[in-house]
Amino acid sequence: MSEMIKQQRAESFVFVGEEALNLRYMPLRQGVVVRSHAVKENTNDEHVMFKEHVDYVVDYERGVISRTPNSRIPDWSLHPMYGIKRFDHTLYTDYSNQAYTVYAQYDYIAEHYEGEIDPAIASSILPQTLAKLQAGEQATYTVLGDSISTGGEASAEQWTFFSRLSRYLCEQYGSALGADVALVNRAIGGETSRGGLARIERDVIPTRPDLVTIGYGMNDQNVSARGQDSAIPLSQFVENIETMIKWLRDQTSCDIILVTPCSPNPDWKRTSGRTVDYAAALCELGVRYNVGVADTYAVWEAELAAGKTPESLLLNNINHPNDYGHELYLRAFLKLLHGR
């Protein structure tokens, strides 16, 4: 199979002492670059470019990276929640990983099929959206979901998964014709599928969407306030999402993509450990109703299996992806649209 050189642009890391962490891919050559922000344009704080052999070392044969003893890269072992199991984030003034997260850039060899697109598959999933873009018209993309769908914790709106997806669709299918995507965000932080269902007629239908992404499951699977079961039982979750699909099909002709949630920190007190069940339910609904499913959960689990740590992916250390995490959400959409 043919190969191609690709660039991993902003892979996130949270380092503990001098422990080595796996790079997601085997770096092609010397020159892994590590910086304090995902992109140079991030200027909310001082942007730091760390120095190889001074702040970090890379074992290019093994594909691992670690801090040096006197590194300027923050050491997560100094985080107040380091090593604590079943933690309750409400007991801490600052539970975020933001101050400890750094980003790496490097080249690697990828199999060529990563970049191939099947236009027929994309058109079958997004017939209305792509028809408008390919006609040089504006397509409306409405985002429905919880705090992840509001953009938490991306460093800027342009790095959220929905903004990345909007740009991709525009560039891939409509930019040459002057088409664009109008992004309408109707997501609410902390919401479950119950809340989304209650307001879909009021908040989503009037936007006259061509595409709606539905991103629930993270808060639904959380342990309830009573400390028992899930906030929204799985059977009720399925019914809620099913009813949303029916509402959209009855009231609009829009394309629909369900979005499975990423995995929360397994050490967080409120996670039920059943995210896999809620993700599987969304995949089953996708098959039943012939709608696309961006399976972020599968992409996320593959990252963890490859050696990424929850802390390296979750900026709030609980359930909100960092910039790289939002890139993983985009990859789930691309896997769907590319037919992989």
> What pLDDT digit, counting tens, does each position of 120-153 carry?
999 999 999 999 999 999 999 999 999 999 999 9
How many whole angstroms separate alpha carbon 328 and alpha carbon 322? 10
- Please compute the mean of the pLDDT values over residues 259-281 and round it to a whole number: 97
- At 103 the pLDDT is 98
DSSP 20: -
Is residue 63 domain-shared with residue 127, that is, in the same domain?
no
Q: What is the CATH number of the domain that holds 316?
A: 3.40.50.1110
Residue 182 has pLDDT above 70, yes or no: yes
Provide the residue type at 242 as one letter: E
- Both tokens assigned to 207: 């936007």
Do 246 and 97 share a structural domain?
no
Which pLDDT value is given to residue 302?
98
According to the model, what pLDDT value does residue 3 have? Answer: 72
193 with 302, same domain: the answer is yes
Same structural domain for residues 148 and 269?
Answer: yes
**Is 243 a residue whose pLDDT tops 80?**
yes
Domain hosting residue 234, numbered range: 117-338
Q: Is 190 exposed, middle or buried (0-12, 13-18, 19+ CB in 10 A)?
A: exposed
**Per-residue pLDDT band at 178 (split at 50, 70, 90):** confident
Q: What is the pLDDT of residue 41?
A: 61
Instruction: Specify whether 128 is located in the same domain as 272.
Output: yes
Give the count of domains, the chain: 2
Facing residues of 35 across strands? 49, 103
Q: Tell how strand 56-59 and strand 33-35 pair up.
A: unpaired
Classified as helix, coil or strand, 119 is helix
Cα–Cα distances in angstroms (integers) from residue 170 to residues 179, 180, 309, in the given order: 7, 6, 33
Question: How many residues make up the chain in this entry?
Answer: 340
Instruction: Reply yes or no on whether the pLDDT at 1 is more than 60.
Output: no
Q: Which of 112, 143, 158 is the last residue of a domain?
A: 112
Could you tell me if 295 and 260 are in contact, meaning their C-beta atoms sit under 8 angstroms apart? yes
Mean pLDDT of 316-334: 98
The answer to whether residues 207 and 321 belong to one domain is: yes
Mean pLDDT rounded to a whole number for the chain: 94
pLDDT over 90, % of the chain: 86
Other C-beta atoms lying within 10 Å of the C-beta of residue 238:
18
Q: pTM of the prediction?
A: 0.95
Instruction: Yes or no: say if 125 and 211 are a contact pair by the CB < 8 Å rule.
Output: no
Q: Please, which pLDDT band fits residue 183 given cuts at 50, 70 and 90?
A: very high
Burial of 91 (0-12, 13-18, 19+ CB in 10 A): exposed
Question: 131 with 69, same domain?
Answer: no
pLDDT in the model for residue 326: 99
Structure-model confidence comparison of residues 65 and 113, the more confident one: 65
pLDDT value at residue 42:
54
Q: Are residues 84 and 165 in the same domain?
A: no
Q: What is the pLDDT confidence band of residue 111, given thresholds at 50, 70 and 90?
A: low
Say if residue 63 is in the same domain as residue 124. Answer: no
Q: Are residues 200 and 245 in the same domain?
A: yes
Q: Residue 67: which pLDDT band, with cuts at 50, 70 and 90?
A: very high
For residue 184, the one-letter residue type is V
* CA 142 vs CA 11, 99, 136, 238, 323: distances in Å: 28, 32, 19, 21, 21
CA distance 71 to 334: 37
pLDDT at 290 over 60: yes
Report the pLDDT value the prediction gives residue 272, as an integer from 0 to 100.
95
Q: Does 83 share its domain with 178? A: no
Task: Give Cα 232 distance to the centre of its chain.
Answer: 22
Q: Are residues 146 and 196 in the same domain?
A: yes
